[in-house]
Amino acid sequence: MQKVVAIGVGAALASGEKVTPVQKIIQLLNGMVEKGETTKHEEAKQFAAYDQFCTDTSEAKGESIAKGLETQAATEAGIEANNANIAQHNSIMDTESANINKLTAENKAADEADRKAWAAFTKKAEDYAQSVSALKRAIDVLNSRPKKVDQAALLQVAALTMSPSDLKDRIHALLQAEQEPAAAGYEFQSNSIIDIMKDLLTKFQDEKLEFTKAAHNERHAHQMEKQDKIGMIEASTDNHGASSDMVDTNEAEKGENQGTLSATLKQIKADTEYKADLDATCAKKRDAMKVRVTVREDELAALRKAIEILGSPAVAGAADKHLPAMLMQIEQADPRTANIAGLIAKKAEQIHSKTLRAFAVSLMSTNNPFKKIVRMMKDLITRLKDEAGSEMKEQKWCENALASNNKTQTRQKKQVKKFTIKKTDAGAKIEELKTDIANLLANLKADKKAMAEATEQRHAEKAENAATIKDAQEAIVAVRAATKVLSDYYQGAGQSSSLVQQTPPPIFEAEYKGMQSENGGVVGMMEVIHADFVKLESDTRSSEQAAIAAYNTFQMETEKTISANEAEKDFKTKEKLKTEEDFESFSKSLDSHTGLLKDAVDEYEGGLYSRCVETGISHEERMEQRKQEIDSLKEALEVLSASESAR
């Protein structure tokens, strides 16, 4: 039994056109072939896009995982480097702390030793001062040649621990002789004691001068050594502070690296799981597609074979000759089917539903029993509900995929911005450190040059002062000798006398005593010259001492400055190397996150957009159309049920 295949066929029948059953079947088969070809083409196109999505997404996720592993390795290496730097700088801090404590203790001990030495020197100087004072007083007493000797002054000298025993014996003998009655005619004779005391006085004064110079030199040496150690303590303190800063910096970087590593591991895990699920799903879809292609090709081949057979003279000719016209069959068909088909076709046009349009055509193309038509409509309702459920799952997948992609893009954009700033800052810092290091090197060169020039000048000045002192000393000796010669001569000439034996011939009246008048001026001038040479020696020695002190101060300050600049240069050089390493690390991280951002953008533009965004109709519109299709079929079922009840 045959039916019209579409509303257009129904119109043709209404105009009186006759169609045999075989012709109707051939029309149906041709329609099935056309629909099969169209569906096969659309399905192949759809699967090609899906398969391309599978390939592109799997490759992108693979690259993302590989880049993530690279980032993981680089970040773990960075953490390891941070730990090594922290340990290194903690060790430096421990060393510098120990050095500071050691130098501080040494300075403290040296200060205590200097205090004791200075106290001993003070005590010794006081003893010598008392001894000198006692000797001077005793000498003055003896030089005054009193009728009665001041015993207290002499006994004070005898009581001195530094007085020689011979002097003590002489003093006691003198005092005893003065007190004995038999010594009434004793004449004061103390020249030998005075000489001993004068020699002892000179000895004490020389010794006091010598150990005073030694004490001051020792104190100056202590102060110089103390200043050196203070400079070393300051350098160690600076190094300790620099290492502390480096520890803080590495701790901060370690925290950032650990954060990056944690995020990277999470991303790797998520990408790996997603890729595994995607690859498994795509593999199943590929296998299913192969089966569908085979089934469709076999179906089309069978349909074409049936058309060929039905169109042969053996079938089509016999049908034209022996089978009644199609119009007669239509007149005998159930009119409710045509009504329901028309109702569904009208609804299909109203809501633009291809599904309802195709179903209406299939109803009008068949002469199925009423119950079968009802079952077909119920089956279609069930299928539409199932498709609605599948679309809900697809929408959910799209929402999750789009949310994940958007989250990835947002996160990677932040990372790109972050590492762009870090890379820029590191580059600027490198240039700043280069400038600082160049300035420090220039300062070091200038300081070392100034130190060398000062040292050379000090050596020349020292040699010149030494030569001046030597010349002055030699001149002093020579002037002193010349003065003595002249003084001795003119003194003798002024005291000489002449015995006249006979009347001399006419000549000078007075005997020649030398140029006494000129002599006074010459000797006076020589004494002035002698004083000038003595002053020259003294001034030169003072100048030499002042130059030594000035040079030592300059040397100490310059060496301190050089040491500080060297330490700062080393620190900045290390900091520059570390910043360059950071620059490379930031560059790699920036490249990595830029790549991840590009992957996310490519994933969106390459598959998600076409699958989930640019679908031609929104998810809400599709769901509404499904609802209208189902409602239309339910309405048609109600019409059928009502017509069945009316019968």
Residues 268 and 249: their CA atoms lie apart, in Å, by 28
Residue 136 lies in a domain: yes
pLDDT of 310 reads 64
Tell whether 306 and 442 lie within a shared domain: no
Residue-wise pLDDT for 257-302, tens only, equals 898 889 899 889 998 998 898 899 888 888 888 888 888 787 778 7
Residues 124 and 121: their CA atoms lie apart, in Å, by 5
Residue 9 lies in a domain: no
Residues 446 and 588: their CA atoms lie apart, in Å, by 40
Residue 362 lies in a domain: no
The last residue of one of the domains, among 324, 352, 386, is 324
101: domain range? Answer: 22-324
Q: Which of 431, 439, 470, 453 is nearest to 580 (CA)?
A: 431
In the structure, what pLDDT confidence band is assigned to residue 325 with cuts at 50, 70 and 90? very low
Residue-wise pLDDT for 154-182, tens only, equals 777 767 777 777 676 667 766 666 665 44
Residues 627 and 385: their CA atoms lie apart, in Å, by 9
Where do runs of H (alpha helix) occur along 318-369?
Answer: 318-322, 326-332, 335-351, 354-364
Tell whether 179 and 307 lie within a shared domain: yes
Tell whether 429 and 309 lie within a shared domain: no
Residues 96 and 237: their CA atoms lie apart, in Å, by 7
Number of structural domains found in the chain: 2
Phi-psi region of 145 (alpha: psi -120 to 50; beta: other; left: phi over 0): left
Residue 399 lies in a domain: no
Read off the amino acid at residue 377: M
The last residue of one of the domains, among 293, 324, 355, is 324
In the structure, what pLDDT confidence band is assigned to residue 243 with cuts at 50, 70 and 90? confident
Tell whether 455 and 318 lie within a shared domain: no
Residue 636 lies in a domain: no
Provide the percentage of residues in the chain whose pLDDT is more than 70.
73
Q: What is the CATH number of the domain that holds 312?
A: 1.20.920
Collect all residues with Cβ–Cβ distance below 8 Å to 108 and sequence separation of at least 6: none
CB 548 within 8 A of CB 554: no
pLDDT at 507 exceeding the cut of 60 = no
Tell whether 429 and 319 lie within a shared domain: no
Residues 4 and 365: their CA atoms lie apart, in Å, by 4
Q: Which of 349-363, 513-527, 566-580 has the highest average model confidence (pLDDT)?
A: 566-580
CB 564 within 8 A of CB 447: no
In the structure, what pLDDT confidence band is assigned to residue 87 with cuts at 50, 70 and 90? very high
Q: Which of 165-174, 189-198, 332-341, 428-437 has the highest average model confidence (pLDDT)?
A: 428-437
Residue 335 lies in a domain: no
Tell whether 176 and 290 lie within a shared domain: yes
Q: What is the CATH number of the domain that holds 592?
A: 1.10.287
The last residue of one of the domains, among 324, 344, 361, is 324
This prediction's pTM: 0.37
Least confident of 46-50, 213-217, 327-331, 450-454: 327-331
Q: What is the DSSP string of 270-287?
A: HHHHHHHHHHHHHHHHHH
DSSP character at residue 183: G
How far CA 520 is from CA of 252, 513, 585, in Å, comes to 91, 13, 95
